[in-house]
Amino acid sequence: MKVRDSILATIALAISTLAMAGMVGSGAYAQAAGAEARGVHALSAMAQTLCDDPAPAATLAAVSNKVAP
């Protein structure tokens, strides 16, 4: 049982390594990483804009289940 588990673990590792190499080599990984970087940049730019806003910070943290007219 121990030998069979070791063999299956080795095969699973080899298959997952080949799958990762195929993903990185296809360019899909680079495209996803680029999209994530653009999203992080946009999020940090928005956070910087909100932090530079002259309005008090308490209005950003106000939470209510009712909408004021």
Q: Are 23 and 29 in contact (CB under 8 A)?
A: yes
- How do the domains of the chain map onto residue ranges? 2-46
pLDDT (tens digit per residue) in 22-52: 888 888 888 888 899 998 888 888 877 777 6
Report d(CA 50, CA 60) in Å as an integer.
Answer: 9
Higher pLDDT, 54 or 26: 26
Report d(CA 52, CA 60) in Å as an integer.
Answer: 12
Residue 20, pLDDT above cutoff 80: yes
Q: Are 18 and 28 in contact (CB under 8 A)?
A: no
Q: Are 50 and 60 in contact (CB under 8 A)?
A: yes
